[in-house]
Amino acid sequence: MLLLPFGVATIIVLALYTVDFSRDVKQIVYLIYSSTYVLLILKMNRNYVFAKKTILDLKHIKYIKSWVFIMLGMLLVVYVFSNYIFSTYIYDIDTIVLKNFYISTSALWFLIALYILMNPIILYGEQLLHNELITKSINEIEVWNKNKLKAIDKSDKKVEKKIAPSLNTLQSALIQNELNLMLNFKKVPTLKELSFELGYPQSHIKFLFKYYSYYSFGEYVNVLKIKYALHLIHTQYLQNHTIDSLSTKCFFTNRSTFFKNFKKLTGSSPSNYIIKHSQP
């Protein structure tokens, strides 16, 4: 469908160069072709606007809506300008027609280029959207607190002194590790593997979980699984898979354990959560 306008344009150009049509015929051909092209673009956008959308589509529209309106506006302006110029200068030589067309439209394309440079989200919208969805699944269940949640035991004073200079760095590394897991969750990490991955002693990680986390490390393992489940839900995994498949994908051994942990951490069952977050 997208190649059709280009194919038709190629045929028209070849025909115009092969046969010596009058300028009036050329103008009529251009008017018909450009009008059809614009109508097809408008129809395509209309179909997309009124089509049923997933959560991901709705979020994507937020990123591209302004850009689409501007491009459609520019398309209509170029359409009007080009037909006006080709009809006004129809009896002039080709170089004059093209010169007037380029002068009239170059400023418009300059404004488009300037708008893109000032709004890099147009170029990187998909990546930013994906990062937003991952971050949303990370932040939906709060794990860490910047301040101590309880007084330090005497037995942990030595560890506190050792970890103090790198406390914020370690906490940031754990959060970044969660983000990485959402992208490539192949297995549930053990404390030893997490220590090796981050390059910190196990005692430091245990200390952080004990005093700066709302969950023990054993509970944190299930938190990671549910966060991964939320990420999959938000990225439309359930469009082609069942909830049982989601449970298995998130490393739960059975459905009941998955439902129990999901409700405990999100406040609702998977089914209710999906219904709630499927609304525009």
pLDDT digits (tens, 9 = 90+) for 16-28: 677 777 777 777 8
Q: Where are the alpha helices (DSSP H) in the chain?
A: 3-18, 23-50, 55-88, 94-118, 121-139, 157-163, 167-183, 191-198, 202-212, 217-234, 243-249, 255-266, 270-277
pLDDT of 260: 94
Q: Where are the alpha helices (DSSP H) in 51-92?
A: 55-88
pLDDT of 156: 93
Six-digit token string for 5: 């306008």
pLDDT of 134: 53
pLDDT of 235: 83
Do 81 and 102 form a contact (C-beta atoms < 8 A)? Answer: no
Residue 56 has pLDDT above 50, yes or no: no
CB burial class (10 A; 0-12, 13-18, 19+) of residue 78? middle
Q: 156: closest CA among 120, 208, 111, 112? A: 208
pLDDT of 135: 60
**Phi, psi of 105, rounded to the nearest 5 degrees:** -100, -20
Percent of the chain with pLDDT over 70: 74
User: pTM (2 decimals)?
Assistant: 0.56
